[in-house]
Amino acid sequence: MRQESAYLRSVHREGRIWNISVAVILLLVPVAVGLIYRTMPDWHGFALGLLATAPMYWAVGAIETVTYVPMLGAGGSYLSFVTGNISNLKLPVALNALEQAGVGINSEEGEIVSTIAIAVSSIVTTLIIILGVVLITPLTPLLNAPALAPAFAQILPALFGALGVVFISKNWKIAVAPVLLMLVLFIAIPALNAGTVGIMVPVGVLFTLGVSRILYKRGIL
């Protein structure tokens, strides 16, 4: 217990340091641009734009924290929120690693496995981005070939389809309700798209928890 507490304390300490440092660095970029070019934004317009958009991002940030942290663990969450692409990369990587290792995220082993998986994923992603930047010019004609367009359009569906089969097959009774909900919402409301993932994932999680509790109370689960 002492080792676990010490480990988690170190994760939270270093995680806060790195997250705050990254936030400061990101905010310093526009400040540096403004100082270099001796120009500053229209503060009145800036305030109006902030008031119109900030509450939405605050709400999404709070919901994503409550939703993702129990699935990613402490260390994995700090890494994921710094590197991004949580729903379409870091979360699938962590869940698959936990599945392969046969451990739960609520254990110390699961915490370590999730953190390592997300760290490796971040390193691989960075290396691929660097490689892409170097090769983007010579590969542009090939990547823009019409014959490859259908394949690129199916990358994310293929990823989530493979993961979905694994997790849905474990308990299909729980999976039916959220799958039907998302199908109905995205078909009935065309405005919902990839930009709404930050909101729809927590909605799906809360809906699934509610339905699962009802099924459990009725003895179906």
Rounded-to-integer distance, Cα 169 and Cα 58, Å: 35
- Average pLDDT rounded to a whole number, residues 85-90: 82
**What are phi and psi for residue 62, nearest 5 degrees?**
-65, -45
128 with 195, same domain: the answer is no
Q: In this predicted model, what pLDDT tens digit does every residue of 14-62 receive, in sequence order? A: 889 989 999 899 889 989 998 999 888 888 888 888 887 787 778 777 8
Rounded-to-integer distance, Cα 144 and Cα 142, Å: 5
116 with 221, same domain: the answer is no
Report pTM.
Answer: 0.65
118 pLDDT tier (thresholds 50, 70, 90): very high
149 with 200, same domain: the answer is no
15 with 101, same domain: the answer is yes
Q: In this predicted model, what pLDDT tens digit does every residue of 143-162 receive, in sequence order? A: 788 888 888 778 777 877 77
195 pLDDT tier (thresholds 50, 70, 90): low
Query: Taking the CB of residue 200, how many other CB atoms lie within 10 A of it?
Result: 18
62 with 142, same domain: the answer is yes
183 with 163, same domain: the answer is no
Total count of domains within the chain: 2
118 with 175, same domain: the answer is no
142 with 185, same domain: the answer is no
53 with 136, same domain: the answer is yes
106 with 202, same domain: the answer is no
What is the extent of the structural domain holding 204?
171-221
Residue 97's nearest CA partner among 82, 108, 110, 86 is 110
- Residue 123 clears pLDDT 90, i.e. is over it: yes
47 with 127, same domain: the answer is yes
pLDDT value, residue 21: 92
53 with 122, same domain: the answer is yes
Rounded-to-integer distance, Cα 86 and Cα 97, Å: 15
